[in-house]
């Protein structure tokens, strides 16, 4: 974390140190604003505070997944031209997806807790919750695909294609489930209706989004670097393996 001595071997740079400290400060302020300063909602009471985490989380998740898809397109275009090219796009795609999954999980958890207070139950088959779970599982699958025991190029390519297809498919799923639930909506239950956010709550929400964005950016950058290190390590491991085999053949070592 920020402030380590210069002898340490880590994935930090001046840029990410600044980012990291900002993230820390921003989220601290977000907590203060969200939990203390901003007022409780007229209808929902204290529960509205959950939304300061819940809403920015899903927005960031969407943003991260969009980044994954865009990165995947760029990767495929680059690697078409020359086989080993564009790997940084692939790494970015993977990094963003993982961060997105983390934030989707947070969205789900906070959403369910919010629901417990507002609807009295942890789960409702409302469109938003359902599509978010599907989104979550979809990208868990993507992450699983990325971990496959296969040649890196094959793996990256498949993952990239999946990201693209998911980019098209997720809206379809969203629309389907949404339509399904509106058909079944009982008039009395205003399931999943979000409150009107005004005044201080609005600014708190906006600020929270900013804070979460900074944090997410910091995470994506660091995760990217870790992926890069992992790739380097795997490659070195492979080279060492080949080298040791060669040595054995020569009868050396």
Partner 1 sequence: MSEVATVVVGWGITFVVLATYSTWVVIRGKGIGQELGIGEIEQSDVEKDTGATTDS
Partner 2 sequence: MFLVARKDLRVERRAKIALGQVAPLALLILMVFAFALDANTSLLERGAGGLYWLAVLYGGTLLIQRSFDVETDDGNMDALRMSAIGMPSLFLGKALALFVQITVLELILGPGILLLYNVGVVDWALLFAAAIAGTLAFSVCGVLWGVMSAGLRVRATLLPLLLVPVLAPVLLAGSRAFETALGVRAGAGWTWAGLMFVIAAVHTALGLGAFGFLLEEG
Footprint of partner 1 (CB under 8 A): 1, 6, 8-15, 27, 31, 34-35, 45-47, 49-50, 53-54, 57, 84-85, 87-88, 102, 105-106, 109-110, 113-114, 116-117, 215, 218-219, 222-223, 225-226, 228-230, 232-233, 236
Q: How far is the CB of 158 from partner 1 (least distance, A)?
A: 20
Q: How far is the CB of 220 from partner 2 (least distance, A)?
A: 23
The item of partner 2, partner 1, none sharing an interface with residue 137, based on CB under 5 to 8 Å by kind, is partner 2
Q: How far is the CB of 110 from partner 1 (least distance, A)?
A: 5
- For partner 1, the closer CB: 19 or 162: 19
Q: How far is the CB of 98 from partner 2 (least distance, A)?
A: 16
**Residues in Cβ contact with 119 at an 8 Å cutoff, skipping those fewer than 6 apart:** 191
- For partner 1, the closer CB: 54 or 157: 54
The item of partner 2, partner 1, none sharing an interface with residue 37, based on CB under 5 to 8 Å by kind, is none
Site for partner 2 in 124-183 (CB under 8 A): 134, 137-138, 140-141, 144-145, 148-151, 153-154, 157-158, 160-162, 164-165, 168-169, 172-173, 176-177, 180, 183
- Gap between the Cα atoms of 147 and 155, Å rounded: 8
- For partner 2, the closer CB: 144 or 242: 144
CB 121 within 8 Å of CB 115: yes
The item of partner 1, partner 2, none sharing an interface with residue 138, based on CB under 5 to 8 Å by kind, is partner 2
Residue 74 sits in the site that holds partner 2 (CB under 8 A): no
The item of partner 2, partner 1, none sharing an interface with residue 164, based on CB under 5 to 8 Å by kind, is partner 2
CB 213 within 8 Å of CB 58: no
Residue-by-residue DSSP string for the chain? -TT--TT---S--HHHHHHHHHHHHHHHHHHHIIIIISPPBTTTBGGGGGHHHHHHHHHHHHHHHHHHHHHHHHHHHHHHHSTTTTHHHHHHHHHHHHHHHHHHHHHHHHHHHHHHHHTSSS----HHHHHHHHHHHHHHHHHHHHT-SS-HHHHHHHHHHHHHHHHHHHHHHHHHHHHHHHHH--SS--TTPPPPP-HHHHHHHHHHHHHHHHHHHHHHHHHHHHHHHHHHHHHHHHHHHHHHHHHHHHT--
- Gap between the Cα atoms of 129 and 88, Å rounded: 33
Q: How far is the CB of 46 from partner 2 (least distance, A)?
A: 34
- For partner 1, the closer CB: 181 or 223: 223
Q: Which residues bind partner 2 (CB under 8 A)?
A: 76, 83, 134, 137-138, 140-141, 144-145, 148-151, 153-154, 157-158, 160-162, 164-165, 168-169, 172-173, 176-177, 180, 183
């Amino acid at each position: 974390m920020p402030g380590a001595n210069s002898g340490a071997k880590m994935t930090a740079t001046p840029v990410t140190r600044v980012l990291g400290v900002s993230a820390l400060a921003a989220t601290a302020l977000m907590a203060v604003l969200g939990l203390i300063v901003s007022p409780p909602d007229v209808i929902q009471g204290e529960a509205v505070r959950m939304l300061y985490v819940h809403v920015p989380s899903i927005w960031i998740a969407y943003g991260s997944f969009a980044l994954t898809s865009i990165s995947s397109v760029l990767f495929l275009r680059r690697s078409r031209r020359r086989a080993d090219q564009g790997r940084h796009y692939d790494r970015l795609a993977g990094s963003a997806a993982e961060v997105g999954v983390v934030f989707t999980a947070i969205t789900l958890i906070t959403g369910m807790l919010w629901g417990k207070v507002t609807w009295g139950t942890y789960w409702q088959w409302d469109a938003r919750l359902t599509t978010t779970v599907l989104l979550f599982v979809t990208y868990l699958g993507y992450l699983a695909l990325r971990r496959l025991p296969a040649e890196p190029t094959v793996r990256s390519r498949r993952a990239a294609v999946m990201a693209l297809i998911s980019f098209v498919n997720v809206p379809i799923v969203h629309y389907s489930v949404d339509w399904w639930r509106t058909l079944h909506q009982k008039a009395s239950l205003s399931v999943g209706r979000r409150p009107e956010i005004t005044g201080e709550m609005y600014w708190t929400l906006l600020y929270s989004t900013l804070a979460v964005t900074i944090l997410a950016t910091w995470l994506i950058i660091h995760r990217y670097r870790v992926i890069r290190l992992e790739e380097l390590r795997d490659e070195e491991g492979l080279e060492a393996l080949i080298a040791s085999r060669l040595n054995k053949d020569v009868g050396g070592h």
